[in-house]
Amino acid sequence: MKRLIAKRLIHLLPVLLGMSLAAFFIIQAAPGDFFSQMALNPEISPETISLMKQEFGLDKPVAVQYLYWLKNLALGNLGISFSYHLPVTTLIRFRLLNTLSLAFFSMMLSWLIALPLGVFAGYRERSISDRLSSAFAYLSISMPSFFLALLCVYLASKTTFIPIGGTRSVFDIDAGLWSRFVDYFKHLLLPGLVLAFVNIGWLFRLMRNNFIEAYGSPYIRAAWAKGLPVPQIIFRHAFKNALNPMFTILGLEIGSLLNGAALVEIVTNWPGMGSLMLDAVLSQDLYLVMGSLIIGGVLLIAGNLIGDLLLMANDPRIRLS
Amino acid sequence: MKIFLTRLNACGFFAAAGFWSLVALYLIALCADLLIPYPYDLQMRDRAFHPPIRIHIMEKGQVRIPFVYQSTLIDPVGKKYQEDTSQRYPIRLFAQGVERKMFGFWKTDRYLFGVSEPAGIHLLGTDMYGRDIFSRIVCGGRISLSISLIGVILSFSFGMLTGGISGYFGGVIDQIMMRATEILMVFPSFYLMLSLRAIFPLSLSSVQIYLLIVVILSFIGWAGLARIIRGMVLSIREEEYVLAARSVGVSHWRILFFHILPNTFSYAITAVTLAVPGYIVGEAALSLLGIGIQEPYPSWGNILASTVGNLRILSDAPWMLLPGLAIFFVLVNFNLLGDALRSVFDPKNW
Amino acid sequence: MKKILSITSLSVRHRERMILNRVSLEICEGEVFCLVGESGSGKTTLALSLLRLLPPGLSLCGGSIFFMGKDLLKASAKELFYIRGKEISMVFQEPSSYLNPLFTVGYQIIETAAAAGASNPEEAAIQAFGEVDLPLKFFKSYPHQLSGGMQQRVAIASALVNRPRLLIADEPTTALDVITTEQILSLLDYLRKKFSLSVLFITHNLPLAFRFATKIGILYRGELVESFSPASQYIHPYTALLFGSGKNLAGYCSSDDSTLTGCTFYQFCPERERRCAEEKPKIFLSGTHAVQCWKAASQSSFSPLDRNNENA
């Protein structure tokens, strides 16, 4: 198993390299010369400009610039944001936590609802409850996340207890850790619920199909013939097998969660990577754009890796071959 | 064609409903200019933020031709309107209005339906400049539906081409393509979309923006399809009829285009139908964020844009969220159709 | 001898077609009843009916199954729970499909023992492992790590760990090579003698049945056309075809005319007469030899069975 992990990590290197190249290429493709743009901006001090020049070799030929870029990436230096006048990594660090907590919360919620519902619907295939839940799933997959988010913001504005936007309300600075956590969570609710809702649909269908397939497998008939108690047959045998393909999905879901989260964040004013990215694009703050893009890619790779590891842990056929 | 329709009917009510709804929607989008009561960019500032007009049929207990009342602004700050019940304004067909150019060249001042001034027939209300939202949604549909369709076709043509070549010829070409798509697919698509948009200046001409969005959307969607087509081509390549064709001397290109790729069509069609929603949402997202289709051209995304971040507009004029409903409806139909196609082509169902 | 299983006039239907048509057979203690038939004859359906595991779409429409005095067709879910895996066990054709790939083979035997309420399931499972001649080092292996023959041994161990009275083996060696088949068969024979097990052995291979069986039943298109002991001489023409003909009999079960008035085998029978097309043959009995063919009418040792006596 360790060999498998090592193999995967080694395979990652060219991908990471390619990623850095792609990002670098995108920066280079942007029209105009950074230098002149930066020099014209009165807010950027000459010291900053010369620092950037040094660190990124902005006056050297392109190929050399790429090597500088690579070196900086490895060191964790993603450049300086033109609009915020802060290192890109600092900015990302703040926002990343928010995006991750949003993604994690909605993922947990959607999985906790979609998976049992999928098993339930799969077990009672073609019954009324199956058809109802499938119809609900349709609703979920067709619903545009931003529309639902706007709708929820509208509804929430008509009430007083659901906070909209931001991560904390303005109140007592000395509030204890617990009440701050609760407050954060209350702000997380709106975007979290919206994001969870749009993901439940496809997760449900996937789980339902997996369960139906697993339940129709020969070893389930053998389990019946062996006289195992019914709950054991359903939950231990069918469910475990149905869950198997879901682990790779778990990894892949990080990517789609980042996407979905970004749009929802922007619309609900949740300060995460998505809104950072948008700000960067609107102010053409290219190093910030690149930094966010790279972090996004890294998160996706990490997610895939975790998914693969979980799959290996669950499926002995992959673990021991 | 006949075979397709019979198969579609066999899929059940929802599939057929989805298909015909989409046909209707695309027809509406094509004939948008014929159906609207106002030009999409006509600003009627005295009627800004007007809620959807009420259409009456009865007056004083008597049934009349459907009519509306004129609205007077009673609260300029809060934008509240009240109906003036003194005079009826019946809805006329082929009513007269502001002169415009239909489809870009046909000068006319007639509209399919309308009411005489100073009343307004705003079926879905007006926006902050007093533009009729119904007209903007119908015209916006043109843009949203066409961008997605063109983008999908571009992606898929390119994807099939590259996937086919890569899978069939293998070797270095294949390796390069695999690495390239892998790298592309590593980035979250939304982030990538924003980055690609950032390379170009924020304000471009409308035609340039349209093309740019199409290109960006296709670029992002291409990689996934190319890889799947490549995989399919790899396995079809080993089939006997391909070897037979080679032995008779058919050229590689003929085999690829006439034998192998046609076998990927069934998957491609299903994938196209299920991918269009993503493209529609992509364009809507870009326009929503202000970096897609720009004013004054309407797009479902940019009508929603005025409500983003602006709680006042959102809570006072919720009818501006209606384009979202339109997107939802379109997506439902594409998904219904896509599911039906998937079960039609699924070998298990044959 | 004690009767373990008594199937009387069992009929199973799938839409309009009769998969099993009034099948009757008996198995006594310690017997090996080999049910022989081509694919499509209904053998697996018969096996599944015993455990009430028919797939949806197939329905029982007549007859009775008595196991140790209990009416299986009227048994409640709870009673069935106490029978499956504990009184009646089943081994299937493709062991790799019928073992759950995500659990160790040892665990899959343990859970069978635990379902029967064994006080020490692990010990019982380990003992079962030894009984089927599997080295203990494979106890914690996963199914995909074992060969076909070993997987089948696991299945047999799991089936026998609770010392059932009846073992149903549905073509257990069809998916295995010749040498492994021999090994499995001798294993089964040994275990049968050791635990005085009764076996319902299903196969399409008549010579195999001859070596292994104490009684052979021939199933053709859902009807039991002959049942006899290997020592007796068979009568039915279909049995003759099955045995040593080497002919490809693949098409014999597939034609669909279930509404024929005469004998179901009329179409392919090399010894048919006019009578066979007009009248469905009665069942003729001679001791334990039963045959459904008009040929037996001319033999003195056979007398027709009155089917109206049976509880149809």
Q: Which residues pair with C34 in a beta bridge?
A: C201, C216
Whether residue C107 is found in the same domain as residue C34? no
- How far is the first Cα of chain B from the last one, in angstroms, to the nearest whole number? 19
The span from the CA of A91 to the CA of A168, in Å, is: 18
Residue B315, class by beta-carbon neighbours within 10 Å (0-12 exposed, 13-18 middle, 19+ buried)? Answer: middle
Q: Is residue C140 part of a domain?
A: yes
Which residues have CB under 8 Å from C199's CB, separation 6+? C31, C32, C33, C166, C167, C168, C169, C188, C192
The answer to whether B149 contacts chain A (CB < 8 Å) is no
In this complex, do A315 and C81 lie within 8 Å of one another by their Cβ atoms? no
Q: Which residue did the predictor score with more confidence, A122 or B58?
A: A122
Q: Is residue C123 part of a domain?
A: yes
Closest CA to B310 of A282, A165, A168, A191: A165
The pLDDT of residue A199: 92
Whether residue C216 is found in the same domain as residue C274? yes
Contact yes or no for B338/B274 (Cβ under 8 A): yes
- Which stretch of A48-57, A119-128, B215-224 has the lowest confidence by average pLDDT? A48-57
Window 307-326 of B, Cβ < 8 Å to A: 307-309, 311, 314-315, 318, 321, 324-325
| Predicted confidence (pLDDT) per residue in C103-152, tens digit | 999 999 999 999 888 889 999 999 999 888 899 999 999 999 999 889 99
Q: Is residue C122 part of a domain?
A: yes
Query: What residue in C sits closest to A226 (Cα-Cα)?
Result: C85
Q: How many CB pairs under 8 A join A and B?
A: 132
Token pair of A311 as six digits: 């799959």
The span from the CA of C129 to the CA of C138, in Å, is: 9
The span from the CA of A168 to the CA of A155, in Å, is: 20
Whether residue C171 is found in the same domain as residue C275? yes
Radius of gyration of chain B (CA): 25
- CB crowding B257-267: b at 16 or more within 10 Å, else e: eebbbebbeeb
Taking all residues of chain A, what is their mean pLDDT, rounded to a whole number? 81
Closest CA to C34 of C281, C213, C258, C273: C213
In this complex, do A289 and B290 lie within 8 Å of one another by their Cβ atoms? no
Q: Is residue C94 part of a domain?
A: no
CA angle (A54, A57, A62) in 5-degree steps = 175
Give the residue from B183, B217, B302 with the most A CB atoms within 10 Å of its CB, the best one to mutate.
B183
What are the residue ranges spanned by the domains of chain B?
A: 48-131, 139-349
The helix or strand, by DSSP H or E, that contains position C303, with its residue range, turns out to be strand C303-304
What is the value of pTM for the model shown?
0.84
Which residues have CB under 8 Å from B295's CB, separation 6+? B302
HEC profile of chain B: CHHHHHHHHHCCHHHHHHHHHHHHHHHHHHCHHHHCCCCCCCCCHHHCCCCCCCCEEEECCEEEEEEEEEEEEEECCCCEEEEEEEEEEECEEEEEEEEEEECCCEEEEEEEEECCCCCCCCCCCECCCCCEHHHHHHHHHHHHHHHHHHHHHHHHHHHHHHHHHHHHHCHHHHHHHHHHHHHHHHCCHHHHHHHHHHHCCCCCCHHHHHHHHHHHHHHHHHHHHHHHHHHHHHHHHCCHHHHHHHHHCCCHHHHHHHHHHHHHHHHHHHHHHHHHHHHHHHHHHHHHCCCCCCCCCCCHHHHHHCCCCCHHHHHHCHHHHHHHHHHHHHHHHHHHHHHHHHHHHCHHHC
Tell me which amino acid residue C189 is: D
Whether residue C196 is found in the same domain as residue C282? yes
- Could you state, in chain order, the average pLDDT of each consecutive group of 10 residues for chain B (350 residues)? 69 81 88 82 82 80 78 75 76 77 76 78 84 89 89 89 85 86 84 83 82 88 86 82 81 79 81 88 89 86 85 82 92 89 67
Q: Which CB contacts under 8 angstroms, 24+ apart, belong to C234-240?
A: C234/C291, C235/C291, C235/C293, C235/C295, C235/C296, C235/C299, C236/C265, C236/C291, C236/C292, C236/C293, C236/C295, C237/C265, C237/C269, C237/C270, C237/C271, C237/C272, C237/C293, C237/C295, C238/C265, C238/C268, C238/C269, C239/C206
Q: How many CB pairs under 8 A join A and C?
A: 76
Other Cβ atoms less than 10 A from the Cβ of B235: the count is 10
Q: Is residue C199 part of a domain?
A: yes
Does residue A21 have a pLDDT over 70? Answer: yes
The answer to whether B291 contacts chain A (CB < 8 Å) is yes
Going across the sheet that includes B62-75, the strands are: B56-59, B62-75, B80-90
The pLDDT of residue C126: 92
Whether residue C157 is found in the same domain as residue C119? yes
The pLDDT of residue A175: 62
- Domain residues for the domain of C7 are 3-87+164-304
Q: What is the number of structural domains in chain C?
A: 2
In this complex, do A225 and C99 lie within 8 Å of one another by their Cβ atoms? no
Going across the sheet that includes C3-14, the strands are: C17-28, C3-14, C58-67, C70-71
The pLDDT of residue A232: 78
Q: Which residues pair with B73 in a beta bridge?
A: B81
Does residue A219 have a pLDDT over 70? Answer: yes
The span from the CA of B275 to the CA of B278, in Å, is: 5
**Do B and C count as touching (3 or more CB pairs closer than 8 A)?**
no
Contact yes or no for C303/C284 (Cβ under 8 A): yes
Q: Where in chain A is the domain with CATH 1.10.3720.10?
A: 89-284
Contact yes or no for C99/A219 (Cβ under 8 A): yes
Nearest to A263 among B186, B190, B309 (CB): B190
The helix or strand, by DSSP H or E, that contains position A87, with its residue range, turns out to be none
Question: Which residue shows structure tokens 């009568």?
Answer: C235
Query: What residue in A sits closest to C48 (Cα-Cα)?
Result: A225
- Which of these three, C112, C143, C162, is where a domain ends? C162
Chain C residues within 8 A of A228 when measuring between CB atoms: 85, 111-112, 115
Taking all residues of chain C, what is their mean pLDDT, rounded to a whole number? 84
The pLDDT of residue C312: 35
CA angle (B96, B101, B103) in 5-degree steps = 115
Question: Which residue shows structure tokens 């001397």?
Answer: B249
Q: Which residue did the predictor score with more confidence, A166 or C158?
A: C158
Question: Which residue shows structure tokens 């997202």?
Answer: B285
Contact yes or no for A319/A270 (Cβ under 8 A): no
Q: CATH fold of B139-349, please?
A: MetI-like fold (1.10.3720)
CATH number of A89-284: 1.10.3720.10
| Predicted confidence (pLDDT) per residue in A58-71, tens digit | 667 777 777 777 77
Q: Is residue C234 part of a domain?
A: yes
The span from the CA of A163 to the CA of A155, in Å, is: 11
The pLDDT of residue A32: 58
Does residue A229 have a pLDDT over 80? Answer: yes
The answer to whether A157 contacts chain B (CB < 8 Å) is yes
The conformation of residue C176, written as its DSSP 8-state character, comes to: S
**Do A and C count as touching (3 or more CB pairs closer than 8 A)?**
yes
Chain C residues within 8 A of A237 when measuring between CB atoms: 100, 103
Q: With H, G, I as helix, E, B as strand and everything else as coil, classify residue C244.
A: coil
With a pLDDT cut of 70, the percent of chain A lying above it is: 87
Contact yes or no for A316/C144 (Cβ under 8 A): yes
In this complex, do A144 and B335 lie within 8 Å of one another by their Cβ atoms? no
The answer to whether A13 contacts chain B (CB < 8 Å) is no
Mean pLDDT of A289-293: 82
The span from the CA of C108 to the CA of C158, in Å, is: 7
Whether residue C78 is found in the same domain as residue C107? no
Token pair of A226 as six digits: 């062996």
Token pair of C267 as six digits: 């179409």
Half-sphere exposure of C107 (CA within 13 A, CB side): 12
- CB crowding C52-70: b at 16 or more within 10 Å, else e: beeeeebebebbbbbbbee
Tell me which amino acid residue C275 is: R
| Predicted confidence (pLDDT) per residue in A86-112, tens digit | 788 888 888 888 899 999 999 999 999
- Which stretch of A109-118, C148-157, C299-308 has the lowest confidence by average pLDDT? C299-308
Chain C residues within 8 A of A223 when measuring between CB atoms: 100
* Shortest CA gap A239–chain C (Å): 11
Contact yes or no for B72/B81 (Cβ under 8 A): yes
* Shortest CA gap B248–chain A (Å): 41
Chain B residues within 8 A of A143 when measuring between CB atoms: 328, 331
The answer to whether C75 contacts chain A (CB < 8 Å) is no
The answer to whether C179 contacts chain A (CB < 8 Å) is no
Contact yes or no for A277/A295 (Cβ under 8 A): no
Phi, psi values for residue B38, rounded to 5°: -140, 155
Mean pLDDT of A212-241: 87
